[in-house]
Amino acid sequence: MCPLSLCATGERVKVEKIAGGCEVRRRLEAMGVLPGEEVEVISCHCGPVILNIKGCRLGLGCGMAQKILVTPVAPSR
Amino acid sequence: MKKDNIVIALAGNPNSGKTTIFNALTGSRQRVGNWPGVTVERKEGKTDLDGRQVTVVDLPGIYSLTANSLDERVARDFIVQDKPCLIAVVLDASNLERNLYLSLQLMELKAAPLVLVFNMIDEVEEKGMSIDLDGLSRLLGIPIVATAAKKNRGIQQLKKVLAERIGLDALTPADIPFRYRENTEFAIERLSSRLEKDPVLGQSSPSRWLAVKLLEDDREYLARLEKSPLRNALLEDLGVLKKELEKSIGYDLETALVEERYGFINGIVKEFVKTSWGLEDRLSLSDKIDKVLANRVLGLPIFFFLLWLIFKLTFDVGGFFVDHIDRLFTALGSQAATLIDRLDAPSWVASLVEDGIIGGVGSVLVFVPIIFFLYLAISLLEESGYMARGAFVMDKVMHAMGLHGKSFIPMVVGFGCNVPGIMAARTLENPKDRIITILITPLMSCAARLPIYVLFAGAFFAKHQGTVIFAIYLLGIALAMLMARLFKSIFFKGEPAPLIMELPPYRLPSAKSLLLSAWHRSFIFIQKAGTVIFLAVVAVWCLASLPL
């Protein structure tokens, strides 16, 4: 398990845990970032991260990306 | 709201094309933006449905009914308290999974009968996807209309369906096909039967919805619970039920509820949407553009270059028209003066008309081209989708000043006019970030200040006009940053909220909507020039010319 901010561009990962206040968690959850959800890292520069979640692009700031813990998944296609 | 007034609310995610649907329905022209939360204020319009006058209210774009941000609260309060007759939920049909979440919550809320508008259906077709609209509509018990609002497709059908649904009971359909897992349902049942007996809460919203919201720890509903006479018993019940449920689920209940909703939606999408893998073309193009525009190294220089380009174009192109308009007003003034002279009117009348009214109002109106081009550029940034990227690449810089990446949007809009800039600050979720942004946005030099800058720069620094004006703008920005730091360290201590922002796919905005939006905003300036400035000019002329 590692923070999303450390992932490489193009990696597919599974969200394990969202550490952070309940405000932030709620917002992420409403947009579909839930534990167990698989996401694709479109771009990551140890800071702002762009995610592909359910076909949408979501931009996350540095601090946010550090609070989302993920595990890598083997590519399915 | 009056009882005989038929109100239809338009709800939907940001970037689902809600405003375009609104324009197509009401014929009124608002600005259509492409960054999340462009709906700066509540917009209303009239439309004719089957011979009946109907008011359409465009709600701010929201992702859920959780009331996290001000936008969500505004939308939720309107739906719950103002009780529209009908809610049309606008969805980006090419992205149903995320968009259906809000629809499902609205179905649970049962505040009004719903109509689902599957917008951007043309993009679905282009992608080679197909949606079984009839099947889905039958399952949900809600009519679904497919539209492509930009191409004006499906609007007549939408009007027809809306007209049919007016006057239906809020509880249509009485039952929705969605159920939580057994334990959760049990808890909801028990809590809602308690709530029904409550004299205060029972009246306000359907008790099932209330129960769900209370189990979700919704702060607003918990606060309402505080006012209930049965408060203590209810709170105790809630505590016990929550604890039991969380024990059986193994983690946070709120997350579990969201998960179950998404699970249901996932099932729907699997059953009713056929996709082929060419699906992500539009997005992958956006991704390629983002590789450059949202790049860690290139992102910021490109961003500043674009800002510089906007100012350069605004002043060069706008300046060309300014000279012509200036000449026009001078000619108009002397013509009018000659005419008045011929009528044997006293000379002060001619002076009032030439120097006072025409000269005064003219000196303000000459700046309309510059303002128009500035607004045109801002609209282009919004509608193309770059504005969201700007917030994204600026996040680190803004963070260093104690601001949020999104604070940057109100600041850029503030260059056009501070009022919509301040209104745009509503999309910031954290109240501290919002207040700081509102406090510093007026330091952005708005378009109306430009005439004064030009005048001063011309009078004192004739040789370096452009540079001086640019420097005044920079000074404003620097001052804003300084004040932000100051406010942050004195009044609003603590970290700014982390940035979470949808990056909409890049879209080519239509020239028509860009021009309309720029015109709409410039027109407000012209209106002011025609009224307030006109009176002020006459007053100044009186003080300067009359022997008082």
- Residue B381 sits in the same domain as residue B466: yes
- Give me the residues of B, 96-155, that contact A with CB < 8 A: 97-98, 101
Between CA B242 and CA B248 the distance in angstroms is 10
Q: What pTM was estimated for this model as a whole?
A: 0.79
Establish if A77 belongs to a structural domain: no
Q: Please give the tally of structural domains in chain B.
A: 3
Catalogue the E-assigned strands of B93-238: 114-119, 130-131, 144-146
Residue B377 exposure: Cα atoms within 13 Å on the Cβ side: 23
Looking at the fold, whether B498 and B529 belong to one and the same domain comes out as yes
pLDDT in tens, B425-482: 776 777 788 889 999 999 988 877 887 888 888 889 888 888 888 889 889 989 998 9
Burial class (CB in 10 A: 0-12, 13-18, 19+), B283: buried
Same domain? B191 vs B159:
no
C-beta atoms of B388 and A59 within 8 A: yes
Q: What is the pLDDT of residue B217?
A: 85
Please classify residue B319 by burial: count the beta carbons closer than 10 Å to its beta carbon, then call 0-12 exposed, 13-18 middle and 19+ buried.
middle
pLDDT of residue B39: 46
Do B258 and B403 fall within a single domain? Answer: no
CB pairs under 8 A between A and B: 127
**DSSP notation for B532-547:** IIHHHHHHHHHHHHS-
- Regarding whether B499 and B469 lie in a shared domain, the answer is yes
Show residues of chain A in contact with B409, CB under 8 Å.
none
Domain contains B171: no
Greatest pairwise CA separation for chain B in angstroms: 96
pLDDT of residue B283: 63
Closest CA to B69 of B503, B425, B390: B425
Q: Which long-range contacts (CB under 8 A, 24 or more apart) does B406-413 make?
A: B406/B433, B406/B499, B406/B501, B407/B433, B407/B436, B407/B437, B409/B35, B410/B437, B410/B438, B410/B441, B411/B437, B411/B440, B411/B441, B411/B444, B411/B477, B411/B480, B412/B307, B412/B378, B412/B381, B412/B387, B412/B444, B413/B378
B218 and B134 assigned to the same domain: no
CATH assignment of the domain containing A15: 2.30.30.90
CA nearest neighbour of A40 among A1, A4, A3, A67: A4
Residue B421: pLDDT band (50, 70, 90) is: confident
CB B296, CB B394: distance < 8 Å = no
* Claim to verify: residue B490 and residue B399 sit in the same structural domain: yes
Task: Give the model confidence (pLDDT) of B6-24 as tens digits.
Answer: 889 999 998 888 888 888 8
Q: How far apart are CA B337 and CA B438, in angstroms?
A: 46
Residue ranges making up the domain that contains A67: 2-72
Could you say which of B205, B240, B274 is where a domain stops?
B274
Which residues have a Cβ under 8 Å from the Cβ of A77 and sit 6 or more positions away?
none
Sheet with B6-12, strands from edge to edge, namely B43-49, B52-58, B6-12, B86-92, B114-119, B144-146
pLDDT band at B34 (very low <50, low <70, confident <90, very high): very low
Q: Please determine, for residue B2, whether its predicted confidence score (pLDDT) is greater than 80.
A: no
Query: From the list A50, A52, A63, which residue is nearest B498 (CB)?
Result: A63
Out of B237, B258, B274, pick the residue that ends a domain.
B274
Q: Which of B54, B45, B58 is nearest to B9 (CA)?
A: B58
Contact yes or no for B416/B446 (Cβ under 8 A) = yes
- Which residues of A lie inside 8 Å of B (Cβ-Cβ)? 20, 22-32, 34-36, 42-43, 45, 47-48, 50, 52-64, 67
Are residues B186 and B151 part of one domain? no
Within this chain, do residues B221 and B309 fall inside the same structural domain, yes or no? no
At B487, the amino acid letter reads F
Q: Helix or strand or coil: residue B10?
A: strand
pLDDT of residue B80: 84
Output the six-digit token pair for B248.
Answer: 């059986």
**How far is the CA of B203 from the CAs of B93, B222, B228, in angstroms?**
35, 16, 12
Q: ∠ CA A58-A64-A69 to the nearest 5 degrees?
A: 95
At B334-352, the pLDDT tens digits run 888 888 888 888 878 888 8
Percent with pLDDT over 70 in chain B: 92
B78 and B120 share one domain: yes
3-state secondary structure (DSSP) of residue A40: strand
| Nearest-Cα residue of chain A relative to residue B495 | A63
Question: How many separate domains does chain A show?
Answer: 1
Q: Is residue A43 part of a domain?
A: yes
Residue with the bigger pLDDT between B239 and B417: it is B239
Residue B143's pLDDT is what?
93
Is residue B548 in a domain? Answer: no
More confident residue, B367 or A26: A26
**Which position has the higher pLDDT, B423 or A57?**
A57
Predicted pLDDT of residue B51? 83
Residue B120 reports pLDDT greater than 60: yes
Residue-averaged pLDDT of chain B: 83
**Strand ranges inside B192-238, DSSP E:** none
pLDDT digits 0-9 by tens, B229-254:
878 888 888 888 888 888 888 778 88
Q: What is the pLDDT of residues B54-91, one digit of tens each?
A: 888 888 888 888 767 777 877 888 888 888 899 999 99
Containing structural domain, residue B256:
182-274
User: Do B422 and B336 share a structural domain?
Assistant: yes
pLDDT band at B277 (very low <50, low <70, confident <90, very high): low
If asked whether residues B375 and B427 sit together in one domain, one would say yes
Selecting from A23, A29, A56 the residue whose C-beta is nearest the C-beta of B95 gives: A56
Of A34, A35, A58, the CB nearest to B502: A58
In a domain, B203, yes or no: yes
Distances (CA, A) of B410 to A57, B424, B439, B459: 22, 5, 11, 31
Report whether pLDDT(B102) > 80.
Answer: yes
Rounded Cα distance, B260 and B237, in Å: 23
Q: What is the ipTM of this complex?
A: 0.86
Q: What is the CATH number of the domain that holds B199?
A: 1.10.287.1770
Strand partners, A43: A50
Asked if residue B249 is part of any domain, the answer here is: yes
Using an 8 Å CB-CB cutoff, list chain B residues near A28. Answer: 500
Element (H, E) at B22: helix B18-26
pLDDT at B40: 46
Spatial separation of the C-alpha atoms in residues B69 and B67, rounded to whole Å: 6
Q: Could you tell me if residue A64 is inside a domain?
A: yes
